[in-house]
């Protein structure tokens, strides 16, 4: 059985692990993968993305730990129902991730309006696949 792999363009200067985790989370949240669907194996991820199998294994283990995936003996790794945010997740996101984004945007000379527009566009791009999968 062939499993669809999520999209990713590796960029130099950033952790491969972080890039693959982000791409996987984006695919899971946007609805590219549905709850109960088979998730690519460590071997498939390593082969398709041309990354070290240990890195692929760490990614899958991280996604299991974060409750995006489930490991089922005899079946493999499947997509879990999207987890409810843990207490503190929202505050951490707003404190750390948004702060990092704002610092980089200011460093590049972007205006607040540019940042808001980009965030709205990204938000909408994640909403569209979810609407299709809910029908």
Q: Are 5 and 28 in contact (CB under 8 A)?
A: no
pTM: 0.69
Would you give the DSSP letter of residue 96?
A: I
What was the pLDDT predicted at 128?
62
What's the pLDDT tens digit per position in 45-81? 999 899 999 999 999 999 999 999 999 999 899 999 9
What was the pLDDT predicted at 125?
84
User: What stretches in the chain show pLDDT beneath 70?
Assistant: 1-4, 128-135
16-79, CATH topology level: Arc Repressor Mutant, subunit A (1.10.10)
Going from N- to C-terminal start, the domains of the chain cover 16-79, 89-134
Question: Whole-angstrom Cα distance, residue 119 to residue 13?
Answer: 23
Q: Are 72 and 64 in contact (CB under 8 A)?
A: no
């Amino acid at each position: 059985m062939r499993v669809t792999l999520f999209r990713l363009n590796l960029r130099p200067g950033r952790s491969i692990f972080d890039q693959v985790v982000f791409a996987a989370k984006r695919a899971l949240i946007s609805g590219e993968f549905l709850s109960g669907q088979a998730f690519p194996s460590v071997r498939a991820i390593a082969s398709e993305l041309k990354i070290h199998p240990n890195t692929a294994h760490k990614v899958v283990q991280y996604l299991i730990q974060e409750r995006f995936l489930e490991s089922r003996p005899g079946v493999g790794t499947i997509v879990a129902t999207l987890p409810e945010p843990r207490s503190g997740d929202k505050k951490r996101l707003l404190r750390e991730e948004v702060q990092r984004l704002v610092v980089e945007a200011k460093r590049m000379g972007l205006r607040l309006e540019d940042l808001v527009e980009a965030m709205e566009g990204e938000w909408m791009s994640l909403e569209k696949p979810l609407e299709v999968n809910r029908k």
